[in-house]
Amino acid sequence: MCPPAGTTARGLIQADDCGSNNDMGDHEHDHGHSAELSEMQLRVRALETILVEKGYVEPAALDAIIETYEHKIGPHNGARVIAKSWVDPDFRRQLLENAGAAFTALGLPSGTEHLIALENTPERHNIVVCTLCSCYPSGTLGVPPVWYKSAAYRSRTVADPRGVLKDFGTELPPDTEVRVWDSTAEVRYIVVPMRPKGTEGWSEQQLAAIVSRDCMIGTRLPDPGAER
């Protein structure tokens, strides 16, 4: 599933990335429209059929995994956590001290990785990458965006973080330090953006609506104009 028009970071996504994305959200069970499927979707279907026929996987188990990653785990959980941290100082302290426990406190999946929350301030902006492969807090934020795994993002974020931010339309004051955090198999990060001006008096639900996945990776800033 390609990002909606206008949300693609120029220079970080090649056309091939969209075609090679076997996003689990594209999984369907109406197998009668193969002419409309991409090459990768056809490959996934073929692989699934073989694995099911040989008895290696249960279709119901696959459906349960897809349901989990589509609805139960995803950036909406992180958005709830960030929004609460903007209105509840005690919760914010907990999030910064033990991010996994903060997710658990809201009844949200906390994942199995060691999760660290990185606080954005006027002095420092944080951005997350995995230079080695694609480590991402999937247990809390769901499936990573395609560009996160691209060689361009992984290399340029370290060499030229401000250039990468610019690709996403994010410009920071020149005196704000940009700190890059390299995820590992053991440690994953979630960025806690600053609450934007103009959101005074908003409910947690309204605030959560402007915290996108990219805000929690650090490539974009929450946009009050994007409130649903």
Active site residues: 130, 133-135
Give the Cα separation of 112 and 152 in Å (integer): 28
Q: Which is nearer to Fe ion, 102 or 190 (CB)?
A: 190
Using DSSP's 3-state secondary structure scheme, residue 42 falls into: helix
Binding part of the chain for Fe ion, among 110-118, 128-136, 173-181, 208-216 by CB under 5 A, reads 128-136
> What is the nearest approach in angstroms of Fe ion to the Cβ of residue 183?
6
> What is the nearest approach in angstroms of Fe ion to the Cβ of residue 186?
11
Amino acid at 41: Q
Using DSSP's 3-state secondary structure scheme, residue 133 falls into: coil
Q: Which helix (H) or strand (E) holds 64?
A: helix 59-67
Q: Which is nearer to Fe ion, 134 or 206 (CB)?
A: 134
Which one among 108, 135, 192, 217 touches Fe ion, defined by CB under 5 A?
Answer: 135
133 binds Fe ion, rule: CB under 5 A: yes
Q: Which is nearer to Fe ion, 79 or 135 (CB)?
A: 135
52 binds Fe ion, rule: CB under 5 A: no
CB 75, CB 213: distance < 8 Å: yes
Q: Which is nearer to Fe ion, 103 or 189 (CB)?
A: 189
> Using CB atoms within 10 A of its CB, is residue 109 exposed (0-12), middle (13-18) or buried (19+)?
middle
With CA atoms as reference, report the closest residue to 194 among 80, 118, 129.
Answer: 118
Binding part of the chain for Fe ion, among 53-61, 115-123, 132-140, 172-180 by CB under 5 A, reads 132-140
Which one among 130, 143, 215, 217 touches Fe ion, defined by CB under 5 A?
Answer: 130
With CA atoms as reference, report the closest residue to 69 among 29, 3, 22.
Answer: 22
46 binds Fe ion, rule: CB under 5 A: no
> What is the nearest approach in angstroms of Fe ion to the Cβ of residue 154?
9
Residues ≥6 apart with Cβ < 8 Å to 152: 11, 12, 14
Name the residues that contact Fe ion, by CB under 5 A: 130, 132-135
